Chains A and B, each alone.
Chain A
Amino acid sequence: MEAPIRAREALGFILFSLLFSICRSSSLNHLLISNAERRIDLSSHIVKVFLTLKVENAGSTPTSEVLLSFPPTQADHLATVEALVTKGKRKKTTLVRLDVKPTELPDAPNDAKYFTIYLANPLKSGESTTIEVLYLLTHSQEPFPAEIAQSESQLVYYRDSALILSPYHIKQQATFIKTPSTKVESFTRVEPSNRAGTEIKYGPYEDHPPYSFSPILIHFENNSPFAVVEELVREVEISHWGNLQVTEQYTLVHAGARHKGVFSRVDYQSRPTLNGASSLRYLLARLPPRVHSVYYRDEIGNISSSHLRTDSRKSELEIEPRYPLFGGWKATFVIGYGLPLQDFLFETSDDRRYLNFTFGCPLLETVVDKLTVKVVLPEGSKDPSAVVPFPVEQHLETKYSYLDVVGRTVVVMEKKNLVPAHNSHFQVYYTFKPIFMLAEPLMLASAFFLFFVACVAYLHIDLSIRK
């Protein structure tokens, strides 16, 4: 169904590129890519693409912006784009991270989406540099057949282009696609292309004009469970008495091919490799070290199938859902744990405090469709501000917890479409006077004092009319 449309799109791209490449703005024109290599890793349900671009400035003016372009269908599923540049020579090479920002261009052909890489040093004319780009795609493998029985293995489609979509002229390019197993049902041939083991190679192709596109479709077996967290709410509560309480509420779904027909436990238990190969049996969560009071439960009580392994550098929590998740099956659960506050809360030089904590989901190899991080600051803290390495939606809320009077400020951050690569640190700055810590104990003490005074008074008052 979609393939012809894509083909038309591709045709359109090529036409567009032919027409518009001449009259595009000068900044695009004078760059060209002398060599491009793309490696697409399809071994899990998160598609990892490593792009190595050798960019050459063929123009006369120095420039520091390099554009990446994506077809709109891919751009919707794009979780993260990172760019690195190698510095130094020979053995002393270091990787330097570059700024990448989404950009809108007014005359983008066929709604192509752009990201701009900002080079650290402007590229002078005639010079060239090598940029390493990593981008991750989620929900890009479509199960086909869409419904499978318990004993069948999961086959998926992956759609992309044999040629790298780029606003620049590419002199030479090649694409390597790694599949999870050798079982590949079919793949589109764009000569020269060949398959060896788990790798499909497209290219090398020479001299393609900007916006060249050649759709390909790969149909292959992927039995890795498609663990998708539809919604995750992480609540981080700071208590200045020395504890950081984290509560994470998950809505997990197996987003692979839907399960069809019976689920037979006897087959599942006796032949686990053949039956339910794509089922989601367990998940691994990587928690910070020195984690304590870990719990794993859902709305009807504790789930007993979990294991916690701790060492000095990290803690690993292996959790099993109550039942194995087949395609389309859902489960909800809550993970909670406490952490020592001194590992995560620091003071700045100007007497402000800040929390330094990881943003993303601690589960490995999962996609999070919607993540909400709530940082509950202690009562009485002021001027909250959050620093996050990528764009998020932010707002403030108020939460009332144990014996609160004015309520606690909650910094809420929301982001859609996350991958484990988003597990970088964010900071929340705020000011807090330690005297507020005593408010609740004092309140309790005075309440008890008043109660006893009332009791004493009651025992000494005689309200009877007649003595």
Chain B
Amino acid sequence: MAAPETSTAAVPTLYTNNTLRNAFGGVLSFFILLLIGVMAFSIRLFSVIKYESVIHEFDPYFNYRVTQFLAKNGIYEFWNWFDDRTWYPLGRVIGGTVYPGLTLTAGTIWWLLNSLNIPLSVETVCVFTAPIFSAFASWATYLLTKEVKGTGAGLTAAALLAMVPSYISRSVAGSYDNEAVAIFALIFTFYLYIKTLNTGSLFYATLNSISYFYMVCSWGGYTFIINLIPMHVLLCIVTGRFSSRLYIAYAPLVVLGTLLAALVPVVGFNAVMTSEHFASFLVFIIIHVVAFVYYIKGILSPKMFKVAVTLVVSVGLAVCCAVIAVLIALVASSPTKGWSGRSLSLLDPTYASKYIPIIASVSEHQPPTWPSYFMDINVLAFLVPAGIIACFLPLSDASSFVVLYIATSVYFSGVMVRLMLVLAPAACITSGIALSQAFDVFTGSIKFQLSGASSNTEVDAAETSSSTAESQTDAVKTEKPEETAKNRPSRKSKKKEREHGEKPSTKAKAEKKRLLALPLESSVISLLLLVLLGAFYVVHCVWAAAEAYSAPSIVLTSRSHDGLHVFDDFREAYAWLRHNTDVDDKVASWWDYGYQTTAMANRTVIVDNNTWNNTHIATVGTAMSSPERAAWEIFHSLDVKYVLVVFGGLVGYPSDDINKFLWMVRIGGGVFPHIKEPDYLRDGQYRIDSQATPTMLNCLMYKLSYYRFVETDGKGFDRVRQTEIGKKYFKLTHFEEAFTTHHWMVRIYKLKPPKNRIRGKTKKSKSKTSSTTSSPKRSGTKKKNPWQ
């Protein structure tokens, strides 16, 4: 037992004992952090072990392709890269439209490794970038929570974040997406903000803006930071917590951060011109006004101050009104009120489904369901309220920030399931605080009860001795802040300060020990229950990492009684395209497969997952929902040679093109009104069986999906829709089957070449009549078919 020993020992030995204990604690927490990092990395390797080291899903393929380009051609070529393989015939300026953080990070890692003669491929680096950065993210969480509630809470929060399923879902090995590095950048920026807020050091403020710059480079979610921090600043000002530290934490961030953000090509002048950033500037003005008021208050007498206030307020209000009026006019003049569609759908959850079907069609932009909360943050959902309460005991600048962070992120996660990712760190931090405080209370009361039972007097002696020691240090501490306020603290004094910073918390614990001493049995039982809760969380996380989130989605497996079946049809089709078509052939498919086609098949696509041009996507949607001849004309006008459709009816793969088809109709109909959704629905129901509408049964998507499907089983039974198909025997007139994969999941069709014009009198007269009949039609329905 430590307590009896310290009671007999003299003060200096107690001091050395304490430093030793601190040093031991430091080493221990260092190793715990190391292990947390290892765990964060290794829990994300299930996908590599169960499947293979491969890039996952859709967007990561684009990032991978960009990284390959970067590694091959260098940074300058990358900035100037005009990609003609996508959005044919428009193309896309990659360097100016991509968040380059992830690519540059992986490219730098690759370059570094290769210059050290470690010949890892770009693919390997890309696959393992996300797990590495999740280790970094858990360390950043440790730092942030440590700033808020001390080391114990920090370690708990880091451990929780290392395996939170929500974050795992976006950062398994192979999930090479912006979020992988952005979450680290987000947490680290918050940490530096809190650190600046706690220390008032300009050094950390500068680091904070650089970290913010990295976040801007990596993810569009940086607007969350630039709105959350001003909100917190405003909260501090309103609650009367304004200090010079707050000013140092905020003002450099806005100035430097905005300047740096404007350097990123994809953001550019948006950093000062869009409404997402206005809050930060408004608060920037407010904080200056407040700082000015505080300054004036300091130099003027109270009476003079009152006079000055009335004067300034009356003039200031007038000026403010004018400025705000101009601002509002400016903002209101832009059609979207200066907000981007995604941000608007954040503020108004129903916005996207009303106006932008292309955003609404993405499954990760849907609001989450309740089970998905349990799936993604599991027991943290129950610990968060406790953590919020713990943040209020006592409320500091830092803990109020955590409260604000969790409150806003809960709202955002409720709007878009994708933003669950932003909630996860906040939930981990608050739960970490809750768990660690609970552990503190329970272990403290156990210790108190045990030592109290053995020798009450000795404990009292220990208490008095330690309290004297603390009062001594307290005396030192009261001197310290003034000192630090004046001097730039050297590292040694900072270290001392850190020790002192921990002191009051131990003292507080000692007080709490006396106040919150629970009965021994109940605290032991609660401790066990907490451990059980943690164990449940760990089991769930490992299950989620291993089963739910490790599938790369380009290769599917199914287990049946006769072993493991692998469905590798996507890559089969892409490999076929890559090797057996001309290098400049254009492939049309729904936009979901655009990134994969350019990355894996290296063929030009019409639309891809970067849904920047709604009209172009609508054109492809219109073609897919048109009858064969009209579709052929649209595709032919786009110089398309192959059409790729994904069909799951044979093996029961549910996310195929027939199931996505209504979105194609909706998006196509949004631009070309001759495509009407009700034409494809029978009594409001979407069906492909014999009850389906003739428009549906004659559209290109139906035909390409079910061409000769009936010959597989004689009936044409679709295993996804669980029905027999409506139209079984039909021929293609303008398309021919070029390739179908082993399980029919990808079908590629070739456009037949246009028929030769036959010179002859009969034909000539026919064409004449047709042209005369068609020309008024064309002028009459101008928008009907723009591709003639």
Chain A residues in the interface with B (C-beta under 8 A): 261-266, 270, 298, 300-305, 322-323, 328-332, 400-405, 462, 464, 466-467
Contact = CB atoms under 8 A, between A and B. Distances in A.
B576 A323 contact: yes
Contacts of B739: 263, 265, 323
A304 B117 contact: no
Contacts of B708: 264, 266
B118 A402 contact: yes
Contacts of B118: 402-403
Nearest to B492: A462
Given A304-B566, A304-B568, A323 B491 contact: no
A403 B575 contact: no
Nearest to B579: A330
B574 A300 contact: yes
A414 B712 CA distance: 48
A303 B736 CA distance: 28
Contacts of B568: 303-305, 322
Given A302-B54, A404-B117, A323 B488 contact: no
Determine which residue in A328, A400, A462 has the highest number of CB atoms from chain B within 10 A of its CB, and name it: A400
B744 A265 contact: yes
Determine which residue in B572, B711, B738, B742 has the highest number of CB atoms from chain A within 10 A of its CB, and name it: B742
Nearest to B580: A329
Interface in B703-739: 708, 711-712, 736-739
Contact of A304 (B119, B555, B575, B738): B555
Contacts of B314: none
B600 interface: yes
Contacts of A464: 490-492
A156 to B, nearest CB: 22
Contact of B571 (A262, A300, A462): A300
Nearest to A461: B491
Given A263-B740, A323-B741, A301 B555 contact: yes
A405 B117 CA distance: 8
B450 to A, nearest CB: 37
Contacts of B310: none
A15 to B, nearest CB: 48
A322 B555 CA distance: 13
Contacts, number: 84
B488 A466 contact: yes
B-side binding surface: helix, strand, loop or mixed? mixed
B491 A401 contact: no
Interface of B: 52, 54, 116-119, 487-488, 490-492, 554-555, 566, 568, 571-572, 574-576, 578-580, 600, 708, 711-712, 736-742, 744
Contact of A265 (B52, B566, B740): B740
A300 B576 CA distance: 12
A270 B740 contact: no
A84 to B, nearest CB: 41
A261 B711 contact: no
Contact of B119 (A301, A402, A462, A467): A402
Nearest to B51: A302
B737 A262 contact: yes
A302 B571 CA distance: 10
30 contacts: A262-B736, A262-B738, A263-B737, A263-B738, A264-B737, A264-B740, A266-B740, A270-B711, A301-B52, A302-B52, A302-B54, A304-B555, A304-B568, A305-B568, A322-B568, A322-B571, A322-B572, A323-B572, A323-B575, A323-B739, A329-B579, A331-B575, A400-B119, A401-B117, A404-B117, A405-B117, A462-B491, A464-B490, A466-B488, A467-B492
A301 B600 CA distance: 10
B71 to A, nearest CB: 14
Nearest to A459: B491
A328 B492 CA distance: 74
A265 B576 CA distance: 14
Contacts of A331: 575, 579
In the A-B complex, the 3 residue pairs with the closest CB atoms? A464-B490, A265-B740, A301-B54
Given A298-B575, A300-B600, A323-B576, 6 more contacts: A266-B740, A300-B54, A322-B571, A322-B572, A322-B575, A464-B491
Contacts of B490: 462, 464, 466-467
Nearest to B575: A322
Nearest to B557: A304
Nearest to A251: B579
A440 to B, nearest CB: 10
A466 B487 CA distance: 9
